[in-house]
Structure 1
Amino acid sequence: MAHKTFISYKYSEAKNLRDRIVDSLGEDAKYYQGETSESPDMSDRTTEYIKSKLKDMIYSTSVTIVIVSPNMIKSKWIDWEIEFSLKQIKRSERRSGTNGIVGVVMKHNGDYSWLRPEKTYSDGHTAIMTKNEYLYEIITKNRFNQNPKEYSCDVCKTIDQLTGSYISLIAEEDFLRNPDRYIENAYEKSKNVDNYELCRQK
């Protein structure tokens, strides 16, 4: 099922990935509500004007796709867009729902180790770590926040990549191969917010 989407990203380094994500949506791209290469330049507009336009874009959507790129946290907009996406906003008689959110990790220098390096333990097993210094606090606080937790392995206490966190982090290659899967997963979580300890403020 198609859902209206918004993409939050740092323009200077992620606009090409934004375009590839929109292209990957195929027919469902018509439900995309965010900026495209055809959008007017708003860089010379006031902060309040830009916020007003972004609010209009996000309000009618149900899933926000956040492009996680190396310099994302230098953006003055992305954490605000995430915060707005998580709010329930009332306009006239209609109240928006909490958006589902999925993070798409951008490949940098050929891989994802800038954010998610692999660590090998003394017993030989490996694990993917996350360098939280590249993430906004509003993202880290919405990771591993399923309540109650459902472990995919009761012995090693690992959680499912898609259901264990309200904001899942997905490699760009995986997302581009099957965007419907990850958008639908984010949407389903938004309909079950009571299963997560949500942080709605940056």
Structure 2
Amino acid sequence: MSHNCFISFKKEDEYYKKEILEKLGADRIKGRSLDKWIESEDIDYIMQVIRSQYMKNTSVTLFLIGKHSSENEGFEYSSEDNCYYNKQNFIIRELKATFYDGKGNRRSGLLGIVLPDMYDAIYGGSYICSHCGEKINTVRINSQTVIREFSENYYLSPNCESGHCDESGRFCVLVKYDDFIKNPDKYIDKAFDKTNAEINKKVHWKDINHTYKK
């Protein structure tokens, strides 16, 4: 079964968005990127607006992980509003809306697609776990590489004292762009399947706080 997707990306990575659109076909990429601040203190209302107006009819979010997709992008000044906005305002809320599981808006899967210029920053070598004896690939998913909504739902259920997770302990799915583009449905399906897995019960997002503007 083909799943409709929403793409969360930074403008610097628009080239890759267009490549994915061409690969999957525009009929499978639904919705539109968040483009305005939703003034409300009611987080559930905000999530419902984003899901119904921006992410409608999608069940997997593709999060393009480039050089400007991290937690630590900082703030930029808006002369129109006379305040500083978190540069990641929109991506943060798009990922929160992905996790939102409310009436009429079932939680979506989240697939992180690591773009080529981030391979070295995210993927390291490997080591043998002294507790379980398995070969573990080093993956740097943290505030220097991604938004916290992704990192905190990637490592959800460590399976040994060293703190690494096997596949059953992750909700978010991670893939290199080159692997994704060869067989996108393999990874899209994998992300969607997480919404029906036991790990879905451990997903959290309301307790992840950010300074949106100052």
**Class of the TM-score when normalised by the shorter of the 2 chains:** 0.7 to 0.9
Report the Cα distance in structure 2 between the residues aligned to 1:170 and 1:16, rounded to whole angstroms. 18
Residue 174 of structure 1: which of 172, 179, 183 is its match? Answer: 179
2:139 aligns with 129
2:62 aligns with 65
Amino acid at match of 2:29: Y
Report the Cα distance in structure 2 between the residues aligned to 1:58 and 1:193, rounded to whole angstroms. 24
Question: What is the deviation of 1:146?
Answer: 4.5
- Tell me, which stretches of 5 or more residues in structure 2 are unaligned? 40-45, 74-87, 129-134, 209-214
Report the Cα distance in structure 2 between the residues aligned to 1:34 and 1:54, rounded to whole angstroms. 9
2:166 aligns with 159
What number of residue pairs does the alignment pair up?
175
Runs of 4+ in 1 over 4 A off after TM superposition: 51-55, 193-196
Taking a change above 3 Å as real, the CA distance of residues 55 and 116 of structure 1, as seen in their structure-2 partners, is farther
Give the conservation status (yes or no) of the 8 Å contact 1:107–1:172: yes
Give the conservation status (yes or no) of the 8 Å contact 1:146–1:166: no
- Tell me, which stretches of 5 or more residues in structure 1 are unaligned? 37-41, 152-156
Q: State the TM-score, normalized to the length of structure 1.
A: 0.73
Give the conservation status (yes or no) of the 8 Å contact 1:9–1:68: yes
Taking a change above 3 Å as real, the CA distance of residues 82 and 184 of structure 1, as seen in their structure-2 partners, is same
Taking a change above 3 Å as real, the CA distance of residues 146 and 187 of structure 1, as seen in their structure-2 partners, is farther
Question: What is the deviation of 1:19?
Answer: 0.9
| Structure 1 residues 155-195: Cα deviation after superposition (integer angstroms, max 9, x where no partner) | xx7623xx441112110001111110111111111122555
Give the conservation status (yes or no) of the 8 Å contact 2:171–2:200: no
Amino acid at match of 1:21: I
Report the Cα distance in structure 1 between the residues aligned to 2:156 and 2:136, rounded to whole angstroms. 23
1:20 aligns with 19
Counterparts of residues 28-177 of structure 1 (less than 5 Å):
29-35=26-32, 46-48=36-38, 52=49, 55-73=52-70, 74=73, 75-90=88-103, 95-108=104-117, 112-118=119-125, 127-132=137-142, 133-146=144-157, 159-160=166-167, 163-177=168-182
| Structure 1 residues 49-100: Cα deviation after superposition (integer angstroms, max 9, x where no partner) | 9x7567513132111110011111333211110001111233xxxx111101
Q: State the TM-score, normalized to the length of structure 2.
A: 0.69
2:203 aligns with 198
- Structure 1 SS opposite 2:54: helix
Report the Cα distance in structure 1 between the residues aligned to 2:14 and 2:31, rounded to whole angstroms. 12
Report the Cα distance in structure 1 between the residues aligned to 2:31 and 2:13, rounded to whole angstroms. 14
Give the conservation status (yes or no) of the 8 Å contact 1:66–1:104: yes
Report the Cα distance in structure 2 between the residues aligned to 1:54 and 1:84, rounded to whole angstroms. 6
